[in-house]
Chains A and B, each alone.
Chain A
Amino acid sequence: MYFRKRSLRFILLFLFSIFFFGFFTVKLILIQVFRSSYLSHLAQKQQTHVITLTPRRGTIYDRRLRPLALDVAAYSLYAAPRMMKPSDVQKAVTVLPGMIGVSRSFLHERLTRDKGFVWLARKLSPEAMEKVTKLKLRGIHFMKESRRRYPGQTSAAHILGFAGTDNNGLEGLELKYNSTLAGRVGTAQMLRDARQQDLLIEQVLVKPQDGFDLVLTIDDNVQYFAEQALAKGFQRSRAISASIVVMNPQTGEILALANQPTYDLNEFGKSHQEQRKNHAVCDMYEPGSVFKIVLATAALEKGVIQETDKVFCENGEYRVANHILHDHQRHGTLSFREVMEQSSNIGVTKVAQKLGGALVNEYAQRFGFGKKTGIDVPGEISGFLKPLAQWSKTSIGAVPIGHEVGVTTIQLACAISAIANGGILMRPYVIKEIRDKENEVIESFSPRVVRQVMEPATAARVKSILAGVIERGTGKLAKMKNVAAAGKTGTAQKIVGGQYSHDQFYATFIGFAPVDNPQIAMAIVFDNPRGTHFGGTVCAPIFKEVAENVLKYLQAEEAAQPQEDHATQGPAR
């Protein structure tokens, strides 16, 4: 009996075991054999996910490899409203606004949406991120992004431009060289746990390619001198806008380009369109007397007049067709050199009449007026040069003195550089090199000659006349203590309502220094300065201030060159 009972229990246990193992065997076979691929796929999907690997946006350096624009990490705050309870939302709405700089109503509206993901604030500072993280709010998370920073704030703002929230270039070089700077995004497969937290990268699918760095011809110090002097002049004159271009006349390298009004690149959202406009390349205006360099060059080269030849300046009034031309001061007989020094409109017009409109027009074209200079900054306009066929009877009394033509500041800088360097028109440029992250030069840009505008001998003669303008003429305020400079002033009436205004002007100045070995050439333009409005009083002092500082600085740089050759060094990363 006992044995039978034991035997029955044993059989039952045995049968149960067989059933149990059989059940799991069948289940295992079903899982491992028949549903294997489907379940593996599900597991793969759950345990791994593909992420985007953001490349580093290239840095922009000045010519001495000082960073002008670079990337830093920023933290963007997002929420998962569906995961948040009403109490979490209430807590977040109470404490977050002050920390992330948004309003309570905005936050409440975002957090009560029926969504799995909403942005709360983009690109916060690490300090703000730490403060928010300490609160340990449920459903509130950070995503790491990168943010463009400009250490110089307003420095070279109109050249650099800026990159937007998604790190895409929106203006200036950031826009023009966006594809070069941006690099290529990569992808990688991440392993993640049951809480969907990312662990380590399991496999890199596509490697990200960092953006290339740009090395500019701009010198941060020269830029500073130019910006400071321009800002002071702008405040003094209460003008609408002002621009300055400082150039190496031998190579065409732009050492500085500044405009007023300007803006802080780190706060570009707060700026308005007028502040962001690059007036030096985007604005066209009648240049006034600075354009007389065209006539002087043509007349001297063609032998129409010599420096000492006398011109009767009609005591300040001269009729050209049905238009009466005036000088700002009455002059009798002047030598051609004096005509230029005193900037006599009548004297210049009389020489132009002798020379003929065709040659004036030809030389204006040779200087590059009416065509884009080809500077590698976006938004350049070509200006305006009337074809000879469209000249009216009064044009011969207007074009040589800088009316009926439209020029840009950069065109003026190139024109004066051509005189400074012995007659060669150079293409202006701001990009010196493109480098990769290993600091290898990918592409290098060298000076490019556009054309020979005049013979070197003619250039030397014009130089001497322009030196006289600063020494004895209308540009006296540009005269420096120890360095001889050459230049030309200009004051042009603005066209308002289709007529020349008597109280609105453009003040201009172009010049270079030192005369015998020009290292810098400059063009300065003020739109509608108040009070004094002459190029010789508004712009010439700015030329003097910038030239003095820049020449001293270049001298110091030259002295330091053998000890410290930055060109062979890599940028600090």
Chain B
Amino acid sequence: MSLKRFFTLCLVVTVFALIYIQMQVTIYDLAYRGKQQADQAFKLADSNTHAAVNIARLKTARHLGSWFFDKNADVDFASRSNIVDVEASPSEFAKVRLVSAPKAVKHVESFFDKVLGLRSIAEAKPIR
């Protein structure tokens, strides 16, 4: 093997080795960043769970009951006797509904929605 060929081979091997090292460094760098993001995500998820538990506690019958009934002795559940039935014909009932129903807001689709949106609004589905 000539000296020139030997040095060329060395150069190629060195370049590949450097690329390999660079890739390893990138992998570890990504791993560190991923770890940080995962920690952040877990922290958020944990605080979310804690908030959910606190909300659940506030929504329990025990909490609401002690709040409403124990502190306000006059408060009671509405029973049939507390409900007033009003007789009305269907047409009268429809009038009441027309008066009380809020006006439907007309949706105006913006130009940017049309151009930039991947799907129409009708296609969008709520996330479960």
Contacts and interface: CB of A to CB of B under 8 A. Distances in A.
A155 B62 contact: yes
A70 B61 contact: no
A207 to B, nearest CB: 17
A155 B56 CA distance: 13
B65 A200 contact: no
B62 A193 contact: no
B80 interface: yes
A553 B61 CA distance: 12
Contacts of B65: 224, 228
B40 interface: no
B77 A553 contact: yes
B62 A152 contact: yes
Given A66-B59, A482-B81, A552-B79, A199 B34 contact: yes
Contacts of B60: 66, 151-153, 155, 220, 224
Given A151-B53, A555-B79, A555-B80, A126 B46 contact: yes
B21 interface: no
Contacts of A71: 49
A154 B56 CA distance: 14
Interface in A174-197: 191, 193, 197
Contacts of B42: 73, 144
Nearest to A193: B28
A556 interface: yes
Contacts of B80: 482, 555
Task: Provide the main secondary structure of the chain B interface.
Answer: helix
Contact of A199 (B32, B50, B59): B32
Contacts of B62: 152-155, 220, 224, 227
B52 A572 contact: yes
Contact of B56 (A66, A227, A551): A66
A71 B46 CA distance: 10
Contacts, number: 83
Given A152-B62, A155-B62, A200 B56 contact: no
Interface in A59-88: 66-67, 70-73
Contacts of A220: 60-62
B35 A198 contact: yes
B99 interface: no
Given A70-B53, A72-B53, A552-B78, A152 B35 contact: no
A151 B57 contact: yes
A549 B77 contact: yes
A345 interface: no
A552 B31 contact: no
Task: Provide the main secondary structure of the chain A interface.
Answer: mixed
A552 B128 contact: no
Contacts of B78: 552, 556
A155 B59 CA distance: 13
B23 interface: no
Contacts of A70: 49, 52-53, 56
B26 interface: no
A158 interface: no
Interface size class of A (residues with CB under 8 A): 35 or more
A343 B122 CA distance: 70
A375 B115 CA distance: 62
Interface in A125-157: 126, 144, 149, 151-155
A223 B61 contact: yes
A556 B76 CA distance: 13
B61 A149 contact: no
Interface string A522-545: 000000000000000000000000
B50 to A, nearest CB: 6
Interface in B10-31: 28, 31
A146 B125 CA distance: 34
Contacts of A67: 56
Name which of A199, A548, A551, A570 has the most chain B CB atoms within 10 A of its CB: A199
A221 interface: yes
Nearest to A550: B77
B35 A72 contact: no
A228 B32 CA distance: 53
A224 B46 CA distance: 29
A72 B77 contact: no
B43 to A, nearest CB: 9
Name which of A70, A72, A482, A556 has the most chain B CB atoms within 10 A of its CB: A72
B59 to A, nearest CB: 7
Contacts of B49: 70-73
Nearest to A71: B49
21 contacts: A66-B60, A70-B49, A73-B45, A126-B47, A126-B50, A149-B53, A151-B57, A152-B57, A152-B62, A153-B62, A198-B35, A199-B35, A200-B31, A200-B35, A200-B38, A220-B61, A224-B65, A482-B79, A556-B77, A556-B78, A572-B52
Interface of A: 66-67, 70-73, 126, 144, 149, 151-155, 191, 193, 197-200, 220-221, 223-224, 227-228, 481-482, 548-549, 551-553, 555-556, 570, 572-573
Given A155-B61, A200-B38, A220-B61, 6 more contacts: A72-B50, A126-B47, A200-B35, A227-B62, A551-B79, A573-B52
- 5 shortest A-B CB distances, which residue pairs? A224-B61, A199-B31, A73-B46, A151-B56, A151-B57
